[in-house]
Structure 1
Amino acid sequence: MTRLGDTPSIHPTAQVMESELGRYVEIGAGSHVSRSKIGDYSYCVENTQIAYADIGKFANIASHVRIYASMHPMERASLHHFTYRSAWYFEGEEDDQSFFDWRAADGIRIGHDTWIGHGAVVMPGVTIGNGAIIGSNAVVTKDVVDFAIAVGVPARTIKQRFSDNVAGRLDAMKWWDWSHEKLHQALPDFRALGIEAFLEKYEG
């Protein structure tokens, strides 16, 4: 049994570069994370690629997902990365830092308590709201609002998980910012209570 803690759990075959990982984070086998921030309690399963992303807490990311803001330079004479990873190819040349800065500025933002299904692709510049669900193999090209369920290619919202009233109250509660101890104390209620009863018990 894996016991997670303050130190992120990174599978020996995973790679994490220039990234910030929170507490209770798990990075699965064969996954690659670069230039990203992943919040507390979030995890990705095997063979997932994440780059230039800011991911909130409690994200549930399935296998073979690509959250990757890495467009090629379509306006240049060549798409190839010899034009921006030039140090790999030419002695005395440096990489094109301005290009990587552009990629970072077009990064991906994913909220708290999200679920990204198997094989989904999240395109550069997209924001996915708190509590949203992305279906398996979806290609997300546009923003997805809080607590929406989006599926398909390109992804489109098919329903909201909760009414606007419930969604607003849940957003305002921000249970994802609770301490580890409070989460543990509330565990029986997370398991047993319906959403309305849970809100009534913990609001205010």
Structure 2
Amino acid sequence: MLQYIESFGDFPSHPKKLSEKPRIHESARIRESYLGSYTDVGPGCSLRECSMDDYSYLASHVGAVWTEIGKFCSIASQTRINPGNHPTWRVTTNHCTYRRRQYNLDEVDDDEFFDWRKSHSCRIGHDVWIGHGVVVTAGCSIGTGACIGAGAVVTKDIPPYAIAVGVPAKVIKFRFEKDVISRLMEAAYWDWDREMIENNFADLRDMDTFLEKHA
């Protein structure tokens, strides 16, 4: 389902104002995708058959295909999510074996291959921070609260609240101790409605207060 897909022109010099209506730069390309409230899509971004939930943003020139992005995610420029696999088991990995019509080699394309691609979708949990220039390969999931360092290439699933860096991306540590992670996951602030967020906004900036009141 496509929600509120329209352009907002060049970004003004004054601070952005987000609302329930997604903010989408005029140069972004969005196809068959869903955007939640208070979302922000920057210049040159491309989404195809994706969903991005409330309060998440794409900085600039982010590309994603067949991807589910949770709430409160921060995705930096030049990130690519699910760039797509090629058929390595065939004689050639070239487009011509599945985009057959494009090369005048058949009357139909290879729908079975495209279905295989779609089955390797990506999932980004809630409150995930993805650094500049990250690549998330097909079929990978990044858990809620995780942070991915700039330039990393994610080839395997990343657990919740992990910090992963490198090529291929490896977990170097976790943001919090296991008990804190468990309590944060149970509290699930990302599921709060707008009124709850507004009434408890200060708690999101102080871990001790948040855990005491909400975990």
TM tier, shorter chain?
Answer: over 0.9
2:185 match: 171
Contact kept, 8 Å, 1:53 with 1:69, in 2: the verdict is no
RMSD of aligned alpha carbons: 1.4
| Match among 186, 201, 204 for residue 213 of structure 2 | 201
Alignment partners' CA distance in 2, 1:87 and 1:42: 37
1:55-101, CA deviations, whole angstroms, 9 ceiling, x for partnerless residues? Answer: 11111000000112500111122212122222333287222222121
Tell me which amino acid in the other structure corresponds to 1:127. Answer: S
1:122 match: 136
Contact kept, 8 Å, 1:115 with 1:131, in 2: the verdict is yes
Give 1:161 shift: 0.5
Superposed counterparts of 1:1-204, under 5 Å: 1-90=15-104, 93-191=107-205, 193=206, 195-203=207-215
Alignment partners' CA distance in 1, 2:142 and 2:101: 35
Alignment partners' CA distance in 2, 1:95 and 1:196: 56
Alignment partners' CA distance in 2, 1:83 and 1:122: 25
**Unaligned 5+ runs, structure 1:** none
Partner secondary structure for residue 77 of structure 2: coil
Partner secondary structure for residue 137 of structure 1: coil
Partner secondary structure for residue 200 of structure 2: helix
Contact kept, 8 Å, 2:82 with 2:139, in 1: the verdict is no
How high is the TM-score relative to the length of structure 1?
0.93
Structure 1 stretch displaced more, 53-62 or 91-100: 91-100
Alignment partners' CA distance in 1, 2:101 and 2:186: 48
Change (3 A) 1:157 1:92: closer
1:154-192, CA deviations, whole angstroms, 9 ceiling, x for partnerless residues? Answer: 11111110111000010011100100121122222223x
Change (3 A) 1:176 1:52: same
Alignment partners' CA distance in 2, 1:7 and 1:85: 36
Alignment partners' CA distance in 2, 1:14 and 1:80: 27
Stretches (4+) displaced over 4 A: none
Alignment partners' CA distance in 2, 1:198 and 1:2: 27
Alignment partners' CA distance in 2, 1:148 and 1:3: 31
Contact kept, 8 Å, 1:47 with 1:65, in 2: the verdict is yes
- Number of residue-to-residue matches in the alignment: 201
Structure 1 stretch displaced more, 12-21 or 74-83: 74-83
Contact kept, 8 Å, 1:117 with 1:137, in 2: the verdict is yes
Partner secondary structure for residue 142 of structure 1: coil
**Unaligned 5+ runs, structure 2:** 1-14
Contact kept, 8 Å, 1:166 with 1:196, in 2: the verdict is no
Tell me which amino acid in the other structure corresponds to 2:80. Answer: R
Alignment partners' CA distance in 2, 1:141 and 1:168: 25
Tell me which amino acid in the other structure corresponds to 1:12. Answer: E
Percentage identity across aligned positions?
45
